[in-house]
Amino acid sequence: MSEELCRKVVSALERRGYEAVFAKTADEAANMVLQEAEPAQSVGWGGSETLKEIGVRDRLLASGKEIRDHKLEMDLFLLSANAITADGRIVNIDGNGNRVAASISGPRRTLYVIGRNKIVEGGVDDAIARVKRCACPPNCRRLGKRTPCAATGVCADCDSPDRICKVTAIFDRRPTGMPTKVIVVDADLGY
Ligand code: SF4
């Protein structure tokens, strides 16, 4: 069932102008990332728990790649998504917008790794709700932010200066001029 859903997302992404592939496991996705990074000297890092979980950072460093955190000029930018709709719309929410900015313009190529747990069957509103429910509270806790969701685990649509959901990007299609590939993985990765 989850493989069927992942493959549906891959087809939807292709219709929206992305190169998209299915990965059965986290290991398979990691090997795909390493293969994509092969010709790149500099690799940007989009601060992703998904990418940490699949263990590509150490392998990239071991292969001599220069990892750049949150810089715009690079050969390849790696990131995940906070949510994706089953019909292929990617939603990412940032505190300062640097990850979103780099996924739109700057790098030569962008590569997403998205686990099946990020897929929502509804529309963009459901995707945003997923981010506020599943991603922001644990991220606020991990980063030591003083927000209601860090304390209670539930979004209160706060007005805190520490709020990490300040910039919401909805990708209806691949951004013009940005070669972008998406690996959809039939595994739960990140949050
Ligand atoms: S709006 Fe505030 S409470 Fe809601 S998820 Fe974002 S940081 Fe947490």
54 closest CA partner among 74, 24, 84? 24
Into how many domains does the chain fold?
1
Is residue 191 in some structural domain?
A: no
Probe target for ligand 1 pocket from 131, 165, 166, 191, with the most ligand atoms within 8 Å of CB: 165
Atom of ligand 1 nearest to the CA of 150: 8
pLDDT for 132 equals 96
Q: What is the spatial distance between Cα 74 and Cα 42, in angstroms, rounded to a whole number?
A: 5
CATH number at residue 121: 3.40.50.10420
Is residue 130 in some structural domain?
A: yes
Question: 175, exposed or middle or buried, with CB in 10 Å at 0-12, 13-18, 19+?
Answer: middle
Identify the residue whose C-alpha is closest to ligand 1 atom 2: 158
- By percentage, how much of the chain surpasses pLDDT 70? 98
pLDDT over threshold 70, residue 128: yes
For 107-124, how does the pLDDT look when each residue is reduced to its tens digit (9 = 90+)? 999 999 999 999 999 999
Identify the residue whose C-alpha is closest to ligand 1 atom 1: 157
pLDDT over threshold 90, residue 54: yes
For 20-39, how does the pLDDT look when each residue is reduced to its tens digit (9 = 90+)? 999 999 999 999 999 999 99
Contact, 110 vs 90, CB < 8 A? no
Mean per-residue pLDDT, 126-150: 96
Q: What is the spatial distance between Cα 76 and Cα 70, in angstroms, rounded to a whole number?
A: 12
Q: Is 73 helix (H, G, I), strand (E, B) or coil?
A: coil
pLDDT for 70 equals 64
Mean per-residue pLDDT, 135-157: 95
Is residue 190 in some structural domain?
A: no
Tokens at 44, concatenated: 């940007």
User: Quick count: other Cβ atoms within 10 Å of Cβ 34?
Assistant: 14
Helices (H), the chain: 2-15, 26-37, 49-54, 56-62, 98-104, 124-130, 136-142, 148-152
User: Quick count: other Cβ atoms within 10 Å of Cβ 42?
Assistant: 17
Is residue 121 in some structural domain?
A: yes
Domain that holds residue 93: 2-185
Mean per-residue pLDDT, 87-95: 96
Is residue 69 in some structural domain?
A: yes
Residue ranges lining ligand 1, Cβ < 6 Å? 132, 136, 140, 147-149, 155-158, 160, 163-165
Spatial strand order in the sheet of 167-171 = 119-120, 83-85, 90-94, 167-171
In this structure, of 70-79, 80-89, 166-175, the range with the lowest mean pLDDT score is: 70-79
Q: What is the spatial distance between Cα 114 and Cα 189, in angstroms, rounded to a whole number?
A: 7
pLDDT for 71 equals 65
Query: What pTM was computed for the model?
Result: 0.91
pLDDT for 10 equals 98
